Amino acid sequence: MVTKILTSFGSVCTAAFGVWHFFVPKLWNWYSYISPEAKELVLAVRAVNVFFSLCLVLIGAANILLVWYSPNRFSLIVILGVSTILWLVRCLFQIIYPQGSASAPLQYGMLFAFIIILLCFSTSLLLVVFKEPLIK
C-alpha cells in the first residue's frame, strides 16, 4: 500500500507539473525573448513545450493506472524506473543549472519539490523490486 500512496503522490505532482507547464510560455512571456523574425524558432519552442508537458501528464497517468490496476510487476518496474530517472535528472539540472535563481526561496523550493517527487518514485521502485505485495 505504501507503493500505491507514494506513486500516486509523485504521479499527481508529475501530471500537475505537466499541466502547469502548458501555461509557462504565456505566464513567463517566453516568446518575447525570441526575435519576431524567428517564427520557426517560436514554433519549435512551442512544439517542444507541448510535447514535454503532454509527456509529463501521460507518464503521471500511466504510473497511477499501473500501480493501482496492473498485476504485472515488470510493467510497474519499468514505469517507476522511467519516472525515477526523469526526476533524478531534473534534480541534477536544478542543482547544476538552477532555475528560479532570481529568488532563493523559489530556486530551493523547486529543488525541494523535485527531491520529494524523486524520493516518492525511487522508494516505490525499490519496494516493487524487493517484492512488496502490490494488491492489498
**Is residue 134 within 8 Å of residue 73, measured between CB atoms?**
yes
136 pLDDT above the threshold of 80: no
* pLDDT of the residue at 36: 87
Q: How far apart are CA 30 and CA 57, in angstroms?
A: 21
pLDDT digits (tens, 9 = 90+) for 14-70: 999 999 999 999 998 988 999 989 999 999 999 999 999 999 999 999 999 999 998
Fill in the amino acid letter for 48. V
pLDDT value for 131: 81
pLDDT for res 28: 86
What digits encode the pLDDT tens for the residues 94-132?
999 999 888 999 999 999 999 999 999 999 999 999 986
Nearest Cα residue to 121 out of 20, 21, 1, 4? 4
What is the spatial distance between Cα 93 and Cα 72, in angstroms, rounded to a whole number?
32
Predicted pLDDT at 100: 85
pLDDT number for residue 134: 60
Condensed to tens digits (0 to 9), the pLDDT of residues 72-88 reads 999 999 999 999 999 99
Please list, in sequence order, all residues whose beta carbon lies within 8 angstroms of the beta carbon of residue 18, skipping any fewer than 6 positions away.
Answer: 52, 53, 54, 55, 56, 57, 58, 59, 60
> Are the C-beta atoms of residues 54 and 106 closer than 8 Å to each other?
no
Q: By the 8 A CB rule, do 25 and 47 touch?
A: no
Return the domain boundaries, the chain: 2-129
